[in-house]
């Protein structure tokens, strides 16, 4: 099934892009521009044509009870027929949702970025 219509970029996705740009810093500007080009020139056309080309996010093997509880909570928020997927783009992991004929880009992270915020612990 090909996705119809324009992809939807969530506020979280754009915030993630801002944090990647900040994470890469001034020296990383060329890398950030390459990332944007890869997303818009390569990834979007692939996902638009083959929305289920990414790996199923829910297929991950879990190693802890806490992770299973979080996954269960996540699954309870999905609608029937929703497909949560991830797509690797160079050094980045992109999370997206296929809902009916629409693709929602939810999050993107550089593989070296922490997946949680520790700033609250240190002034």
pLDDT tens-digit series, residues 32-73 = 999 999 999 999 999 999 999 999 988 878 788 887 888 888
Superfamily of segment(s) 8-110: RelE-like (3.30.2310.20)
Name the pLDDT band for 119 (thresholds 50, 70, 90). low
Q: How many CA atoms lie within 13 A of 27 on its CB side?
A: 0
- Continuous H helices in the chain: 11-24, 29-37, 44-49, 65-77
As a 3-state breakdown, the chain gives helix, strand, coil percent values, each rounded to 5, of 45, 25, 30
Give domain limits for the chain.
Answer: 8-110
pLDDT at 75: 83
Pick the closest to residue 75 from 52, 51, 97, 100 (CA basis).
Answer: 97
Residue 12 pLDDT greater than 50, yes or no: yes
Average pLDDT, the chain: 86
> Computed from CA positions of residues 7, 12, 14, 19, in that sequence, does the dihedral angle turn out positive or negative?
negative
């Amino acid at each position: 099934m090909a996705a119809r219509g324009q992809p939807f970029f969530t506020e979280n996705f754009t915030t993630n892009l801002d944090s990647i740009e900040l994470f890469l810093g001034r020296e990383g500007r060329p890398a950030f521009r390459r990332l944007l080009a890869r997303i818009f020139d390569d990834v979007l056309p692939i996902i638009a044509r083959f929305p289920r080309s990414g790996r199923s996010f829910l297929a991950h093997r879990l190693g802890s009870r806490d992770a299973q509880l979080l996954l269960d909570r996540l699954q309870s928020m999905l609608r029937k027929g929703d497909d949560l997927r991830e797509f690797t783009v160079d050094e980045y992991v992109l999370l997206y949702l296929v809902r009916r004929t629409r693709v929602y880009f939810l999050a993107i992270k550089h593989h070296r970025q922490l997946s949680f915020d520790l700033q609250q612990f240190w002034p």
